[in-house]
C-alpha cells in the first residue's frame, strides 16, 4: 500500500507544473549544496593530511611551504 500511495503522490506532483518546477528547483539547489560541502571537506582533509605529514616528519607540505609548529586556528570556530 505505501508504494501505491507514493506513486499517486508522485503522479499528482508531476501533473501540477508549478509544484513540479518548485520541487525540481529545490532538488537542484540541494545537489549544489551537497557538492559544495563535499569540495569543502575535501580541501579540509587535504590540509589536515599536510599538517600531519609536517608534524610527523614525513616530508614537506604539498602547498609549497612548511606549516608552523603551532598553527593558529582559522575559519569558523577560531578564537
CB 39 within 8 A of CB 26: no
**How far apart (Å, rounded) are the C-alpha atoms in residues 16 and 23?**
11
pLDDT given for residue 74 in this prediction: 52
How distant is the alpha carbon of residue 52 from its chain centre?
22
pLDDT given for residue 70 in this prediction: 47
Q: Which residue has the higher pLDDT, 19 or 69?
A: 19
In degrees to the nearest 10, what's the CA dihedral of 10, 16, 22, 28?
Answer: 50
pLDDT given for residue 2 in this prediction: 87
pLDDT, tens digit, 9 for 90 and up, residues 21-76: 998 899 988 888 888 899 899 999 999 988 887 766 655 555 555 545 544 555 55
Amino acid at each position: 500500500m505505501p508504494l501505491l500511495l507514493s506513486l499517486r503522490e508522485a503522479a499528482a506532483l508531476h501533473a501540477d507544473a508549478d509544484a513540479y518546477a518548485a520541487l525540481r528547483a529545490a532538488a537542484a539547489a540541494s545537489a549544489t549544496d551537497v557538492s559544495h560541502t563535499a569540495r569543502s571537506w575535501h580541501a579540509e582533509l587535504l590540509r589536515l593530511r599536510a599538517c600531519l605529514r609536517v608534524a610527523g616528519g614525513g616530508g614537506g607540505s604539498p602547498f609549497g611551504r612548511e606549516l608552523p609548529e603551532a598553527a593558529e586556528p582559522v575559519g569558523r570556530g577560531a578564537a
